[in-house]
Chains A and B, each alone.
Chain A
């Protein structure tokens, strides 16, 4: 466990040494989620916060591009580049289990991406709604809903990016490949007017609509759609990650 902790700590140190990246992602989040809400004169604090949170739940979908950008960069730098440059060879020459290194790499990518996005989203939520921000903190359960959406979307993106990084073992291929796999299907489907419901960002949108279940919208969707929006992307992500894990721990020849 202590080795895993050291590996993870080292990974954080490596990934978070680019302040410009964090700043860019933060700015992208802020610009994506523009809303200022002061609340009506007779509105209750619950109603005000509900409106703000609904908006942010919806906007998690539009955060898909900043999320995948951050995850792809972290996976390419933290995994593919380290394999390509030979740093992984140096680490694995020490008493380090491959599974610990793999999990530390994934955890570093996931937690770094999630950390930056969470900080940016909640900073935006408070800064853009400063006059009513005192009410937001009173309803942590609603804020948790936004966080859950962020976690699901980030988990999917990081799993795909990490898997591509491990299989490609090349920084450029990892970056371009991950971006292509994660962005192009969504872009093409929107051009074609078709929705792919079982992967982000569509699955995130469906789940956010479900969370607004006290509105009439949710009745348009049944349990199957809900499961498709939540379980299927997680299964896809975990399967890809598991394949990469099996390859890295059993097949990968360190050259």
Chain B
């Protein structure tokens, strides 16, 4: 595990931002979703040692997040929500400063290469005060990934990017994960984008994790048990399906039959036997999976109206 948290609690006066959060983050891309005020940003700050937890235990790379936060921050990078950088220096100067703080060799060259990777080659000598919001976000990504950290925290990383920029950003993240083996923890509201990159997800609400796990497992768990079937003779297949005990409803959509079932294991076995008995070929037989957004809505239930 890259990140582990058990019973994490954080109080801000009378407000309890985290109420016993349990979290396990493995290697790869981890999505962190939840409504505003769920505790995502607070969790990230505790993991980085920027805040001290009021209770519970949290470890990153097996190290205590408060006592050994200096060591943890040598191996991590972070892009905070709505990043703020000094406006009176150039992007290159600032990133070179970050490289020096990280103890990187050839800080100037490293900074320049990183800025070029994130599409800021034309603006290296321009003051940050003259950057657009998207450029500031790219600079933030550059300072998060510079030095090839093992784990990067991205808090609302696509907030100021246009749709093309967001797509490009996702590709960059996937590329860095693939090429450099960087693990990423992304906190975002844009679930459709998260779905494209993340391997596992945690859904937070009111300071606790309601659900977490591999994305594929969660999607399957929260799918509504609907299957799509396409066979060599749909009418005969339709007749056979209606007689199966585990089938709740059957209907036809175009060239396909859709079936809502109760017991999926029994149904999958039943379809195989049915096709064999009827002598039918099956061209398509797969579950209709929920999207991450569907999972998110089901997990939260009626808790939040956004």
List residues of A whose CB falls within 8 A of some B CB.
2-3, 6-7, 10, 13-14, 17, 85-87, 89-97, 250-251, 253-255
Task: Using known A-B contacts A87-B86, A90-B83, A90-B85, determine if residue A95 contacts B74 with beta carbons closer than 8 Å.
Answer: yes
Q: Which residue of A lies closest to B85 (CB)?
A: A90
Since A90-B84, A93-B77, A255-B51 are in contact, a sample of 4 more A-B pairs with Cβ atoms closer than 8 Å, ordered by chain A residue number, is A3-B103, A85-B84, A95-B73, A254-B45
- State the CA gap A43–B11 with chains docked (Å): 72
Do residues B102 and A95 form an inter-chain contact, with CB atoms below 8 A?
A: yes
Do residues A94 and B50 form an inter-chain contact, with CB atoms below 8 A?
A: no
List residues of B whose CB falls within 8 A of some A CB.
12, 45, 48, 50-52, 70-71, 73-74, 77-78, 80, 83-86, 88-89, 97-98, 100-103, 143
Do residues B86 and A92 form an inter-chain contact, with CB atoms below 8 A?
A: no
11 contacts between A and B (CB under 8 A): A6-B97, A13-B89, A87-B84, A87-B85, A90-B85, A93-B73, A94-B102, A95-B102, A253-B45, A254-B51, A255-B45
Hey, which chain A residues are within 8 Å of B100, CB to CB?
2-3, 6
Hey, which chain B residues are within 8 Å of A85, CB to CB?
84
Do residues B80 and A89 form an inter-chain contact, with CB atoms below 8 A?
A: yes
- State the CA gap A17–B51 with chains docked (Å): 32
Task: Using known A-B contacts A87-B86, A254-B51, determine if residue A3 contacts B101 with beta carbons closer than 8 Å.
Answer: yes
Task: Using known A-B contacts A3-B103, A91-B101, determine if residue A253 contacts B85 with beta carbons closer than 8 Å.
Answer: no
Give the Cβ gap from A231 to chain B, nearest Cβ, in Å: 35
Give the Cβ gap from A169 to chain B, nearest Cβ, in Å: 14
Do residues A97 and B78 form an inter-chain contact, with CB atoms below 8 A?
A: no
Do residues A253 and B80 form an inter-chain contact, with CB atoms below 8 A?
A: no
Give the Cβ gap from A15 to chain B, nearest Cβ, in Å: 12
- State the CA gap A10–B83 with chains docked (Å): 19
Task: Using known A-B contacts A6-B101, A87-B84, A87-B86, determine if residue A97 contacts B48 with beta carbons closer than 8 Å.
Answer: no
- From A2, A17, A90, A96, contact of B80 by CB (8 A): A90
- State the CA gap A253–B70 with chains docked (Å): 16
Do residues B101 and A254 form an inter-chain contact, with CB atoms below 8 A?
A: no
- From B52, B88, B97, B98, contact of A253 by CB (8 A): B52
Do residues A93 and B74 form an inter-chain contact, with CB atoms below 8 A?
A: no
Do residues B86 and A14 form an inter-chain contact, with CB atoms below 8 A?
A: yes
Task: Using known A-B contacts A3-B103, A254-B51, determine if residue A93 contacts B97 with beta carbons closer than 8 Å.
Answer: no
Hey, which chain A residues are within 8 Å of B89, CB to CB?
13
- State the CA gap A10–B98 with chains docked (Å): 11
Q: Which residue of B lies closest to A96 (CB)?
A: B101
Q: Which residue of A lies closest to B76 (CB)?
A: A93
Q: Which residue of B lies closest to A251 (CB)?
A: B52
Do residues A94 and B52 form an inter-chain contact, with CB atoms below 8 A?
A: no
- From A13, A94, A253, contact of B101 by CB (8 A): A94
Hey, which chain A residues are within 8 Å of B83, CB to CB?
86, 90
- State the CA gap A149–B21 with chains docked (Å): 55
Hey, which chain B residues are within 8 Å of A6, CB to CB?
97, 100-101
Which 6 A-B pairs have CB atoms at the shortest separation, nearest pair first? A254-B50, A86-B84, A95-B74, A94-B101, A253-B51, A95-B73
- State the CA gap A162–B101 with chains docked (Å): 23
- State the CA gap A253–B73 with chains docked (Å): 16
- State the CA gap A2–B97 with chains docked (Å): 12
Do residues B52 and A10 form an inter-chain contact, with CB atoms below 8 A?
A: no
Hey, which chain B residues are within 8 Å of A254, CB to CB?
45, 50-51
